[in-house]
Amino acid sequence: MLAPPLATIVVVGAGLSGLTSVLALISLIQSSPSHPPTRIHVLEASAAPGGRLKSDCGGADLGAAWSWPTDRRLHSLAKELNVSLLPQPWEGVVSEILPSNQVTKHPAREGEVACGEGGLRFQGGAHSLVEGLVREIESRAAGDPRVNVTMHAGSACTGVAEAEAGTGLEVRASSNATQTDELLAADAVILALPPHAIAAKIQFEPPLPQSLKDSMLSTQTWMFNMGKATVTFDRPFWRDKGFSGTAQGGSVFDITWDNSYSGTYAIAGFLTGGDGGGDSPGSLFEPARTVDERILGDIAKWFGEEGKTGVVTRQTWDASAMYGHEAHPPSGHHNYGATKKLPLRNVFVAGTESEDEHGHMEGAVRAGERAARQAFAATDTGTS
CA distance 353 to 59: 25
Give the model's confidence band at 275: pLDDT under 50 very low, under 70 low, under 90 confident, else very high: very low
Residue 283 pLDDT: 54
User: Average pLDDT of 136-152?
Assistant: 95
Residue 368 pLDDT: 97
Domain formed by 7-52+129-222+325-379, architecture:
3-Layer(bba) Sandwich (3.50)
In tens, the pLDDT along 249-259 reads: 888 888 999 99
User: Average pLDDT of 13-17?
Assistant: 97
User: Average pLDDT of 291-316?
Assistant: 92
CA-CA-CA-CA torsion sign (164, 165, 168, 174): negative
CA distance 61 to 55: 4
Most confidently predicted of 163-172, 278-287, 338-347: 338-347
Packing angle, helices 361-379 and 16-30, rounded to 10: 40
Residue 21 pLDDT: 98
Residue 3 pLDDT: 58
Decide yes or no: CATH 3.30.70.360 for domain 90-122+225-319: no
3-state percent helix, strand, coil for the chain, nearest multiple of 5: 30, 25, 45
In tens, the pLDDT along 79-103 reads: 999 999 999 999 999 999 888 888 9
User: Average pLDDT of 276-298?
Assistant: 65
Q: Where are the domains of the chain?
A: 7-52+129-222+325-379, 90-122+225-319
- Helix and strand totals (H; E) in the chain: 8, 18
Domains 7-52+129-222+325-379 and 90-122+225-319 share a fold: no
The lowest-confidence range among 114-118, 338-342, 353-357 is 353-357
- Residue 268: C-alpha distances to residues 246, 255, 264, 296, 314 (Å): 9, 8, 12, 11, 10
- Residue 353: C-alpha distances to residues 35, 203, 285, 362 (Å): 29, 20, 26, 11
Say what the pTM is.
Answer: 0.91
Residue 78 pLDDT: 98
In tens, the pLDDT along 39-77 reads: 999 999 999 999 999 887 777 888 899 999 999 999 999
